[in-house]
Chains A and B, each alone.
Chain A
Amino acid sequence: MMIRFEHIRKLYEGAAAITDLNLDIQQGELVVLLGPSGSGKSTVLKMVNRMVSHEGGQILFKGKDINSFNVQDLRRRMGYAIQSVGLFPHRTVAHNIATVPKLLGWDAQRVQARTHELLKLLAMDPEQYASRYPHQLSGGQQQRVGVARALAADPDVLLMDEPFGALDPVTRAALQVALKKIHRSTGKTILFVTHDIDEALLLATRIVLLNQGHISQAGTPLELLQQPANDFVADFLGRADLGLKQLSLRSIAPYTQAIEGTEPSHTITHTATLREAISHMATLHVSTLGVTDESGTVLGQVLAADLLEN
């Protein structure tokens, strides 16, 4: 167990902001705290590294009450990335990334090796970027550095508070892909706050949907879409296109079958989602698509009727 919330309560200006919140987060999960503004999702995240205090109940980190840790030690064991990034303007990219390792007293060689490793992980050339200053970077690059900085000391947990919220859609999509890759390759436990449903569906291994300080529903993206626990969940996820969202979570691979008769006139790659395949069919006015691998070799075909019957 990485993080456990037990009967957490939080008052904000006298009113209950969080009421009796219980949540377990396992090692290696990417839990997305999702909800409208004012739902308390960001507050819940900040309670974990004690940027915000909780009034009732307790939060356990690796089985120990977070209040039993020295607060600086606790925070250095948790990566922290925020929407405004908060890079230090007077320090270079490398120096920014090295912040926590230096606080932990790593030697210079180890710090430099780690900095370069992280820049490469986030697809930034160390030669080119290590000695730049934050104002010389684009917004997307700044947030990449922010994520690298959060990962620097190899923390047990990564806390991310709407980290991609201020980015344009193209940059955001690129960073979502990068984060997903990092999660897969490092197996880090990540707690991620967003109000963007599509971002949550794409990234989460588990979504915790919050409303007015309590959990409306927690489960995998597919569970939430297929069995919304109540009206709020269905409405928040977008009742009208729940089906489309489900389609976007599934790959066409299982629906691919051998071609009988003539080969379809149009093709799609096998990594596409059901949603992409159906969208293709709609624009091309066809009911069959050929499926190819990355090199373009035809593997089989998918039929519209099969895709819609899932």
Chain B
Amino acid sequence: MAANLAGMWVLAGYFAHSATQAENPFTRTALGAGFWTLFAMAWMIALDAIERLQLTTLGRLLLQSVFLLPLLLSLNEGQHLSIAKEYANQSDVFGAAILRHLQIVFLAVVPALLIGLLLAWRMTKKQNLRQALFPVLNVIQTIPSIALFGLLMAPLAWIAIQLPALGRAGISGVGLAPAVIALFMYALLPIVRSALAGLEQVPAEAINAARGMGMSAGQLLWQIELPLAMPVLLIGLRTAVVQTTGLAAVSALVGAGGLGQMMFDGLFSAANELVILGVIPIVLLALLADTFFKVLSSLIKKRP
């Protein structure tokens, strides 16, 4: 399957080369929708086949990375294709866009993890907090992301005007602030839900014994509750990171930048290659995060 994928690229590159006889850098040879559909489907079939192979996590990881080779090849073999030319034109922006994308994800997920954990921990002790918070988190989850970005713009702009210090620190109606806040709110639900499920399956007798031996609430959390809740928590964290990586693309609409910016630039200028150049790294980042957490989970499970 990997050979098949690579072959498609080599062929496409060859034809592009023969088609673009003139040495004009503005000539483009674009791949058709059929190619991309075929490519995406072949890739999905391959990934699905790997999932079914029942390999160790590490083995699966290696095999999956083999399937990334065709993409790298495309940058070399397919240098006469328009996507490669688009990449060459955008290469300075490309790296910055990836970094910006990662920054958005990081700024949304890390606070969501810390606050989500704290909320879940409080919930194990206070039933009414749970009854109050879960409906709110569930409703947030149903708001379309574009609407939520939009909803946050006005109040944030107002805050920036009222408190100029915050405005100078980068809080404003457009840009990073509304994007990060909205993504934070989306990430909260899977994290709180999994953290709570994880904390609740910690054996009550272990908690009882730990308290009876003189552990403080903090020691109990760090030494007993969190390690025992970790396997379940990681599942939610994985969902949150993958989901945020995808949603962060939409945040370009409120001026947050990132890979979504390239995607929308491409959309608005009808340059399909640019769209793809933005989308592929997003998919890869999401897959990478997914795999990372799967590996982490399997490492934790190895310990009883």
Contacts and interface: CB of A to CB of B under 8 A. Distances in A.
Interface of A: 49, 51, 71-76, 80, 82, 84-90, 99-100, 103, 133, 135-136, 146, 149, 159
Shortest 5 CB-CB distances between A and B: which pairs?
A86-B209, A75-B214, A76-B214, A86-B205, A84-B205
Given A86-B207, A133-B304, 15 more contacts: A73-B214, A74-B214, A75-B212, A80-B209, A80-B213, A86-B203, A86-B205, A86-B206, A86-B208, A88-B224, A89-B304, A99-B213, A100-B213, A100-B214, A103-B214
Contacts of B227: 90
Contacts of B203: 86, 89
Contacts, number: 64
Nearest to B216: A72
B46 interface: no
B212 A89 contact: no
B222 to A, nearest CB: 12
A146 B206 CA distance: 11
Given A82-B205, A90-B304, A133-B304, A103 B213 contact: yes
Interface residues of B, number: 19
Nearest to B211: A51
Contacts of A146: 209
Contacts of B205: 82, 84-86
A142 to B, nearest CB: 11
Contact of B215 (A72, A90, A135): A72
Contacts of A84: 205, 208
Contact of A90 (B208, B212, B214, B303): B303
B210 interface: yes
B219 interface: yes
A76 B207 CA distance: 15
Contacts of B214: 71-76, 100, 103
A87 B206 CA distance: 6
B213 A76 contact: yes
B73 interface: no
